[in-house]
Amino acid sequence: MSAPHVVVFDSAESLCQAAARHLVDLVKTSPPTTTTTTGKHDGRWSIALSGGSTPKRLYTILREQHPDVATGRIEYFFGDVRMVPDDSPDSNFKMASESLLHVVDPVHVHAINTKQPAAAAAAEFEQTLRSRLAADAEGTPQFDLVLLGVGPDGHTASLFPGTPASQERERLVVTCMPNPGITPMVERVTITSRVIQAARHVLVLATGADKHWVLRGIVDDTPPAKVPVSRLVRDCAGAVTLMVDKAMTEGPKG
């Protein structure tokens, strides 16, 4: 474990451009760990996608500026989804599909099935991770990269402060509900801290002055135990990079 590397950008756009270059450089210079169900190396990087406006811009940049990597070098998974129809404006799958995945061969896209009950979707996706990803020494399926965002309450993926999902240490994929005040108030399916902390690389993208307190907790190594993203990035086995904007480092004005 090592302290996360924090990089600050003037704007969300410059952050997304840099994140795309960082991701592409990793894919091109580091061999992946993804396997097929037969155990044979398939030569693609395994990446867990995040929802949110910042990742959406990142996905568009990957599609437009780095199509060779985006379509030919990556195996896509989802870090979490809202259990809504795939054509809903609240769907992480819809966002990722429209910004990037519509140009990717579907065989290389591993979605969480929102057409069934959440518990069944979580169990099915856990089996997908076990069959598609190589395991680390502890037997945990290991992503090459997990992409994360940060909520104003300190949540990441769908691991909300104080919820059973955020405290889960054994299972790989669980169901959860957000805390009051988080929208949309719908059930989620999410990978757990066990999966995130096993990843070879974790890339956290975050913007906004309202998240300044979360960043301070991460950088100062004194995060409140209840804040999932702070604890997670301090306990990751792999390399953690935080890309943030100036507003997040400066905090609210006045």
Domains, the chain, with CATH or none = 5-31+41-250 (3.40.50.1360)
| CB neighbour class for 6 (10 Å; exposed up to 12, middle 13-18, buried from 19) | middle
| Rounded distance between C-alpha atoms, residue 244 and residue 123, angstroms | 33
DSSP codes, 48-63: EE--SHHHHHHHHHHH
| Rounded distance between C-alpha atoms, residue 227 and residue 153, angstroms | 8
CA angle 103, 41, 100 (to 5 degrees): 15
Share of the chain above pLDDT 70, in %: 91
The pTM score is 0.93
User: Is 113:121 a contact under the CB 8 Å cutoff?
Assistant: yes
Mean residue pLDDT of the chain comes to: 90
- For residue 104, CA distances in Å to 68, 75, 109, 174, 211 come to 10, 9, 8, 27, 33
Ranges 145-149, 179-183, 226-230, most confident: 145-149
User: Is 192:175 a contact under the CB 8 Å cutoff?
Assistant: no
| CB neighbour class for 25 (10 Å; exposed up to 12, middle 13-18, buried from 19) | exposed
Q: Where are the alpha helices (DSSP H) in the chain?
A: 12-29, 53-65, 67-72, 92-99, 118-132, 164-167, 193-198, 212-219, 228-234, 246-250
- For residue 86, CA distances in Å to 96, 99, 203 come to 11, 14, 25
Give the pLDDT confidence score for residue 38 in this predicted structure: 47
- pLDDT exceeds cutoff 70 at 217: yes
The residue among 124, 204, 212, 214 whose CA lies nearest residue 161 is: 214
- pLDDT exceeds cutoff 80 at 228: no
At 6-31, the pLDDT tens digits run 999 999 999 999 999 999 999 999 88
In sequence order, the 6+-apart residues with CB closer than 8 A to the CB of 102 are none
Whether residue 178 is preceded by a cis peptide bond, meaning omega within 30 degrees of 0, is no
User: Is 232:156 a contact under the CB 8 Å cutoff?
Assistant: yes
Question: Residue 165 corresponds to which tokens in the numbers above?
Answer: 């999902």
Average of pLDDT values for 200-216? 91
| Rounded distance between C-alpha atoms, residue 116 and residue 6, angstroms | 39
Average of pLDDT values for 42-58? 91
Indicate the pLDDT class of residue 36, thresholds 50, 70 and 90. low
User: Is 26:69 a contact under the CB 8 Å cutoff?
Assistant: no
| CB neighbour class for 106 (10 Å; exposed up to 12, middle 13-18, buried from 19) | exposed
Give the pLDDT confidence score for residue 221 in this predicted structure: 63
